[in-house]
Amino acid sequence: MKKIILLFLVLTHFSVLAETWGPKIKIHTSNDVGQVGDCYIGVDEKATDAWDKDVVFHFDGKQLKENEFLPPMPPPGTIYCVMVRDSLLPFDSYTYTDFRGIPENLTEFMHKYRLEVMWGKYSQKITIRWGKLPAGIDSAKFRCYEWLKSTPDINMKEVEEVIFDNNALQRFDFKIYYNKNNDNINELNTEFIDIYPNIVENDIYINHLKFNAYEIISSCGAKIANSKQTILNDKIKVSHLAQGIYFLKLFDRSNKIYFSKFIKK
């Protein structure tokens, strides 16, 4: 009997210590003159898609908060990195930590993040490093915007860091596709696409891609609309939808899956 009680206490102890699901990534930024800056992105059960200014998150051995007020701009020559929450809010908000909510009824979902990096004239190159991605992330890609041009998508599972020339201002847009089952079933069969407008009233337009079917999923995981007919004129009507955040799931002729997200106003 004592052994059974002891085993129960041990299992209970480890279950308490076990971390809840919520993949997070540390984005470590450094330049060639020794300056560094860290930002954190990911999902957490305590987070929402709005500001969580009073919530304390634990990651990378630190206590992190989504701080609305950042320190003043440092002097020239100092690296300065901030996340910009521009995917869901109607205005840009700046923070070093951007943890998003975990949908209750969705096993697979995607969040977008934006990183802006500024530094002084002494730096010539900048390195963005994230290391090996944690379990629970099916696909992770980002692209860099340099003034009027952008790089192709970079697969964050294929490399762990990239180096860019210093052009005084860099913007990095991340698309992270999460899977609660941690099974990576969509890693080789999923791509992200850009649709426009992102905040839509009547029609969504898709850039020069032909699909056999699509699904529109609400932020709560409910399937709102679907079609097994070819999308005509690269356009999908969404005027009938209520205001809110939706996921668009597209299937091409080889049944490859593409994802994006939009806001219906």
- CATH of residue 226: 2.60.40.1930
Residue 230 counted as domain residue = yes
Same domain, 164 and 213: no
Per the structure, how many domains does the chain have? 2
Q: Closest Cα partner for 84 from 7, 17, 172?
A: 172
Q: Which residue has the higher pLDDT, 202 or 120?
A: 202
| pLDDT reading at 122 higher than 50 | yes
Residue 244 counted as domain residue = yes
Residue 185 counted as domain residue = no
Same domain, 160 and 234: no
Buried b (16+ CB within 10 A) or exposed e, 136-159: bbbbbbbebeeeeeeeeebebeee
Q: What is the 3-state secondary structure of the chain?
A: CHHHHHHHHHHHHHHHHCCCCCCEEEEEEEECCCCEEEEEEEECCCCCCCCCCCCCEEECCEEECCCCCCCCCCCCCCCEEEEECCCCCCCCCEECEEEECCCCCCCEEEEEEEEEEECCCCCCEEEEECCCCCCCEEEEEEEEEECCEECCCEECCCCCEEEEECCCEEEEEEEEEEECCCCCCCCCCEEECCEECCEECCEEEECCCCCCEEEEEECCCCEEEEECCCCHHHEEECCCCCCEEEEEEEECCCCCEEEEEEEEC
Same domain, 248 and 202: yes
Same domain, 56 and 114: yes
Q: Closest Cα partner for 51 from 109, 95, 113?
A: 95
| pLDDT reading at 138 higher than 70 | yes
Same domain, 156 and 253: no
Same domain, 153 and 252: no
pLDDT averaged over every residue in the chain: 76
Looking at 117, 145, 179, which one is the last position of a domain? 179
Q: Closest Cα partner for 116 from 61, 153, 73, 64?
A: 73
| pLDDT reading at 249 higher than 80 | yes
| pLDDT reading at 18 higher than 50 | no
Residue 188 counted as domain residue = no
Same domain, 26 and 119: yes
| pLDDT reading at 133 higher than 70 | yes
Residue 89 counted as domain residue = yes
Containing domain of residue 209, as a range?
193-264
**pLDDT for the residue 63:** 93
| pLDDT reading at 98 higher than 60 | yes
Residue 143 counted as domain residue = yes
Same domain, 114 and 169: yes
Same domain, 226 and 125: no
CA distances from 228 to 4, 158, 225, 231, 253 (A): 56, 33, 11, 9, 11
Same domain, 65 and 30: yes
Same domain, 47 and 122: yes
Round to whole Å and give the CA distance between 54 and 2.
44
Q: What is the pTM for the complete model shown?
A: 0.62
Q: Which of 9-23, 28-42, 71-85 has the lowest mean pLDDT?
A: 9-23
Round to whole Å and give the CA distance between 264 and 245.
6
Same domain, 202 and 154: no
